[in-house]
Amino acid sequence: MTCFCSCALIVRCSDVPTPSLGRVNIDDLPQQALMELFIAGFGEAETICGNRETPTDIEKWSGVWLNAAGEVEGLNWSWILETCEGSLPLHFLPSSVRKCDLSMNALAGPLDVTTLPVGLEELILSSNEFDGSVNLVCLPKRLRVLRLSSNHLTGQLHLDELPDTLEDLSLSDNDFSGTVNLTRLPRSLMELSLAGNDLSGSVFLTALPGLMTSLNLCDNHFQGSLDLTALPGSLQNVWLDRNMFSGTIVVAVMRGREISLSGNLPMQVVDQNLRAITHFDISV
């Protein structure tokens, strides 16, 4: 039975130390204490730890798994969390955590991703009610997967200082606005979805990562012409529907590649030799 008893679990999210205190002091706490502080504001804490007043040891918690050293390596609490008093205290995640999946819940409030564990590789917070802006400049250097889709996040997106290891970035179905720079994405990035936001301006698709397989920019307010002659050979799915693209769209035809441009302004699609392509909505 843990020695860190109910005194930690009666602390409300709004009362706990703020991320500005830094991870140095927080990491001095036992992992049991950190995890109890992390779930302290969850209305469904007992679903995870058994009993709010006398929580079980973390190796017995639902949805938590440990590494060979007995440290918390990951947690998956999808579909079980309805409330959290205050903001989500991600700064209490132990430094050993590699994966955190809290998707398909009803968690709300601002989202601070600047104090995540340095070794975190996957953060999945899709389909919640988070709002406010999100800082993508100070993400963990080993992060491979970041999914924040289907929330209410706002503000501009700065995509030119993402971790070099990032492979999957999903920010779709939020309320992000402004322009985006797609010319300095991580070389490792394979999947990018920005669909369903209020993004605008021109997009330059001539310097996408060489490993990219999927690009979704649907349902925004992007505009102007498009040069699709330098898409990576690995890129099989390009969704640009329901924007405001117009003018001449120059395309490099590649067998098996799907490029969708429906729902834009009137445009002429031509191949690299300036020959008109008449049916270009599904596959080429």
DSSP string, the chain: --SS-HHHHT--GGGSPPGGG-HHHHTTS-HHHHHHHHHTTBTTHHHHHS-SSSPPPGGGSTTEEE-TTS-EEEEE-TT----BSSS--GGGS-TT--EEE--SS--EE----SS--TT--EEE--SSEEEE----SS--TT--EEE--SSEEEE----TT--TT--EEE--SSEEEE----SS--TT--EEE--SSEEEE----SS--TT--EEE--SSEEEEEEEETT--TT--EEE--SSEEEEEEEE---TT-EEE-TTSSSEEEEETT--B-S--SSB-
Contact 180, 203 (CB under 8 A): yes
Higher pLDDT, 256 or 102: 102
Residue 80 lies in a domain: yes
pTM confidence score? 0.86
124 and 215, same domain (yes or no): no
From 135, 155, 175, give the residue that closes a domain: 155
Residue 244 lies in a domain: yes
Domain membership of residue 32 as a residue range: 1-155
Residue 222 has pLDDT above 50, yes or no: yes
115 and 254, same domain (yes or no): no
Residue 89 has pLDDT above 50, yes or no: yes
Lowest-confidence pick of 71-85, 203-217, 235-249: 71-85
135 and 75, same domain (yes or no): yes
20 and 135, same domain (yes or no): yes
pLDDT tens, 129-175? 999 999 999 999 999 999 999 999 999 999 999 999 999 999 999 99
CA distances to 70, 204, 223, 277 from 97, rounded to whole Å, are 12, 36, 41, 50
103 and 43, same domain (yes or no): yes
From 155, 184, 218, give the residue that closes a domain: 155
140 and 13, same domain (yes or no): yes
pLDDT tens, 13-72? 334 444 444 454 787 899 999 999 999 988 888 999 998 889 999 999 999 999 999 999
Predicted confidence at residue 28, as pLDDT, reads 85
Residue 91 has pLDDT above 90, yes or no: yes
Predicted confidence at residue 24, as pLDDT, reads 46
Residue 177 has pLDDT above 50, yes or no: yes
Residue 217 has pLDDT above 60, yes or no: yes
Mean pLDDT of the 200-229 span: 96
98 and 202, same domain (yes or no): no
Predicted confidence at residue 249, as pLDDT, reads 83
Total domains, the chain: 2
pLDDT tier for residue 273 given thresholds of 50, 70 and 90: low
DSSP for 41-58, please give it: TBTTHHHHHS-SSSPPPG
137 and 233, same domain (yes or no): no
* Residue where the block lists tokens 């302004």: 265
Residue 134 lies in a domain: yes
Tell me the average pLDDT of the chain: 86
282 and 220, same domain (yes or no): yes
CATH number at residue 97: 3.80.10.10
